[in-house]
Each structure stands twice: as structure tokens, then as C-alpha cells.
């Protein structure tokens, strides 16, 4: 049985040292079956990723014995004729080495000052053999491995990168130029909200984005107030969307890479809690009468809400109140109304609602006052703000 001979076509021969950055394509021809010079042969073609990997049949029964390839690898062929087919021995193997390609990992379109990235020199069909690599520009300390790692990118790393590889007497050409852009600034995350006041019983959708490049994941922060410390509430979120049902001051940042590189934190967005509306009935009453407080403003007051009732106590020499929890209101009431029996004095009240575990509260309502016959609450504005006090009078009109 004869052996087919596989040779690169001389016109398409790979020249490892010509410096051409184009990807080569080799034309391989079977020049006959020796020592049997007969006719009638058709040809099967095989390719291996490397010398040690299994051969894959890539073409069969080809009549002219010519195969043009644009992919590196280890190639072989055999001739066959007759029915049933009679096959030659498989040819010797020919390794076709592609010009290497420089790639960026991760493959971001823009790199920012301080990020960590890796350039890779990839040889298609190189078969994982022990290549020694050379990088250009050579004025920086570069590895002889297939990876060129930049731990802290600066603008000085911007530019074109090339690589080539050598294995024994075999050497590839230089790769095409890979342009690495390193920007001098740190991007800032952008935070938007579909609304800034929580609907009663609903939520607000926050969106965090980074306009530059890709690959970002997002961290979310919340503050109880502008002056309180920020707490990390979510980390490494992939889609940049957060739905909140709790008021507070929110911000976000983007991060990517390993180790993580972070954007500047976004501007802050304040989400206000819903504020219930307190009504009192009656608002004027005789001493000892009863008064009903109602906490409203809810689309669905029965949807898991509990209601908390407070007496508004004026702070001395101040325009502020402190709120004292009313009896029986420690755990809230299921009903959104509260009955006070035996009201004898003018007094102010507020309410709020809460639900969930842990409890998420609405804001406090505005104070409402119950006026008792013979008393009224007088406000006057002085240099230090609003002042108030209880005054006895003979006339209900307060003259």
C-alpha cells in the first residue's frame, strides 16, 4: 500500500520571519501516491488541533487533491479509490502555524486609569506547544509568556501592541497591531429614579448606569438621612436596577474586573416616605367628649398595614414636637381609626403606618389638633421661630 505525500504549496508557503501582519492561508496539495503512480484517486483530509489531539475528518472524496486552509493546525490526507474504497496509508503530517493575534481580557472597548487588564497572544492551531513569546513595544518589561498583564493602567500604557512566538527553529510573524486605549479619568455612575416619593404601598425603581464601556456590575448604598453614614445594601448586581419600598437617601457605583475597579459614586437621590393624612372628628368638642382619629391617604388600607397613634407634645422654646405613643398603640392597630374617650384639653395628634418584617414605616402625618371648649392653641412668630401655649378664655371665639 502506498503512502500519500502532503506538502505546502510553494506559492502559499508560510514565512515565519517576514513580518507580515496578515493571516496566512496555505494551499496544500497531494502530489501523488508513491511508489504506486496509478490514477483514479480521491482524497480525504484530516485536521488536528495539536499533535496530541485526535484527528477530525474535514473533507472527504475530494477529486483534485488540493485544499486551501485559513486555520492553523496539524493536517494530513489519504487517497482512496474503488468500490468498496481502497485507501492508501495516511500521509505524514504538516503543521500550519497562523500568525498570532493579540486580544484583550476582559474585552472592554475602553480602559480607565487604575484598571487591571491582560493582553493575550493567541496562535490558532498552535496546539498548546511550548512557544516563547515576544512583545512589542519592548521598552516595557514584558513577559515571555502568552500573557502580558498590566496591573495598574495609566495613560502611558496607551498605544499599539504586537506579539510573535518562537518554537525551536520555527517563528511566527508579528501579529497585527492591537490598539489599547487608556483613559485618564475615572467614570462616574449615574443614578435615576422613576419617582422620588414612595407611593403608599408601592415602590420606586432606581437605575444605575455607566455610560462608558461595558462589563459593569453595581453596588447600592442607602442612608437613613443625608447626615447619616451610608450602608451597603446590595453588591455586584448585574442589571443596574433596584426596586425600593423604603424611603432614604440612595446612591450607587459601578465595578468590574478582578481585582475590582470602581467608578466614582453617583450623586445621591432622596426617596421620601409616603405621608398619611390624619383627620379628627369632631375638631371642636366639649370637655369629656370622645374624638375619633382617622389615618388615611392609603389606596389599600387593609393591605397588611398597622397604624400607630401619637400625641404631639410641643418642645419648649421651639417650633418642633415630640411624639408620645398612645395607649394600646405599641404594636399598631389593624383599623385605621382610633377612639379617644374623655377628651378634656386641647391636644395635637399624629399617625403613621407600618408593615412587613422588619417593619417599614411611612412618614408621620402632619399634626392635627382637637380644640376643647374654653381653650385654644395660640401660635405667634418671634425671633426664635414659632411659639405656642395654652390660654384660658371666657369666649369660645378666643377674643
Domain ranges of the chain: 3-96, 101-183, 190-271, 277-392
Superfamily, domain 277-392: Immunoglobulins (2.60.40.10)
Q: Please say whether the structural domain 3-96 has been given the CATH code 2.60.40.10.
A: yes
Q: Over the stretch 190-208, which tens digit does the pLDDT of each residue have?
A: 999 999 988 766 789 999 9
CATH number of the structural domain 190-271: 2.60.40.10
CATH number of the structural domain 101-183: 2.60.40.10
Identify any residues that bridge with 371 across adjacent strands, giving them in sequence order.
284
* 35: preceding bond cis by omega (within 30 degrees): yes
Same fold, 101-183 and 190-271: yes
Q: Report pLDDT for 292.
A: 94
Concatenated DSSP letters of 75-95: EEEEEEETTTTEEPBPPPPEE
Q: Over the stretch 270-295, which tens digit does the pLDDT of each residue have?
A: 998 888 899 999 888 777 789 999 99
Of 34 and 362, the structure prediction assigns the larger pLDDT to 362
Contacts of 178 (CB under 8 A, 6+ apart): 102, 103, 104, 119, 160, 161, 162
Lowest mean pLDDT, pick from 23-32, 239-248, 250-259, 324-333:
23-32
Quickly count helices (H) and strands (E) in the chain.
Answer: 0, 36
- For cell 437621590, the residue is 269
Amino acid at each position: 500500500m502506498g503512502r500519500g505525500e502532503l506538502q505546502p504549496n510553494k506559492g502559499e508557503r508560510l514565512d515565519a520571519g517576514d513580518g507580515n501582519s496578515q493571516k496566512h492561508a496555505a494551499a496544500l496539495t497531494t502530489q501523488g501516491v508513491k511508489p504506486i503512480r496509478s490514477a483514479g484517486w480521491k482524497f480525504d483530509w484530516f485536521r488536528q488541533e495539536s499533535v496530541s489531539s485526535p484527528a477530525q475528518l474535514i473533507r472527504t472524496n475530494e477529486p483534485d487533491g488540493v485544499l486551501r486552509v485559513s486555520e492553523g493546525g496539524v493536517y494530513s490526507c489519504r487517497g482512496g479509490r474503488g468500490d468498496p474504497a481502497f485507501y492508501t496509508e495516511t500521509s505524514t503530517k504538516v503543521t500550519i502555524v497562523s500568525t498570532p493575534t493579540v486580544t484583550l481580557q476582559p474585552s472592554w472597548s475602553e480602559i480607565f486609569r487604575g484598571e487591571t487588564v491582560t493582553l493575550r497572544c493567541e496562535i490558532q492551531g498552535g496546539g498548546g506547544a511550548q512557544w516563547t513569546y515576544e512583545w512589542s513595544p519592548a521598552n516595557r518589561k514584558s513577559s515571555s509568556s502568552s500573557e502580558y498583564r498590566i496591573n495598574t493602567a495609566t495613560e502611558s500604557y496607551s498605544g499599539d501592541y504586537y506579539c510573535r512566538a518562537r518554537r525551536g527553529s520555527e517563528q511566527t510573524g508579528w501579529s497585527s497591531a492591537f490598539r489599547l486605549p487608556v483613559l485618564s479619568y475615572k467614570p462616574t455612575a449615574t443614578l435615576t429614579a422613576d419617582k422620588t416619593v414612595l407611593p403608599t404601598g408601592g415602590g420606586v425603581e432606581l437605575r444605575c448606569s455607566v455610560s462608558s464601556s461595558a462589563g459593569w456590575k453595581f453596588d447600592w448604598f442607602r442612608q437613613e438621612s443625608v447626615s447619616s453614614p451610608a450602608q451597603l445594601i446590595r453588591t455586584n448586581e448585574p442589571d443596574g436596577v433596584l426596586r425600593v419600598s423604603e424611603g432614604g437617601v440612595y446612591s450607587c457605583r459601578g465595578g468590574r474586573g478582578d481585582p475590582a475597579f470602581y467608578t466614582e459614586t453617583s450623586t445621591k437621590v432622596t426617596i421620601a416616605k409616603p405621608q398619611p393624612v390624619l383627620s379628627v372628628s369632631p375638631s371642636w368638642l366639649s370637655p369629656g367628649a370622645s374624638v375619633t382619629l382617622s389615618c388615611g391617604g392609603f389606596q389599600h388600607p387593609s393591605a397588611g398595614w398597622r397604624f400607630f397613634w401619637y400625641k404631639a407634645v410641643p418642645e419648649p422654646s421651639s417650633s418642633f414636637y415630640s411624639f408620645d405613643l398612645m395607649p394600646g398603640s405599641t404594636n399598631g392597630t389593624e383599623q385605621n381609626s382610633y377612639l379617644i374617650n374623655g377628651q378634656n384639653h386641647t391636644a395635637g395628634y399624629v399617625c403613621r403606618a407600618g408593615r412587613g418584617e422588619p417593619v417599614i414605616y411611612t412618614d408621620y402625618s402632619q399634626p392635627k389638633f382637637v380644640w376643647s371648649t374654653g381653650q385654644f392653641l395660640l401660635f405667634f412668630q418671634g425671633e426664635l421661630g414659632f411659639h405656642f401655649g395654652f390660654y384660658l378664655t371666657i369666649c369660645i371665639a378666643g377674643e
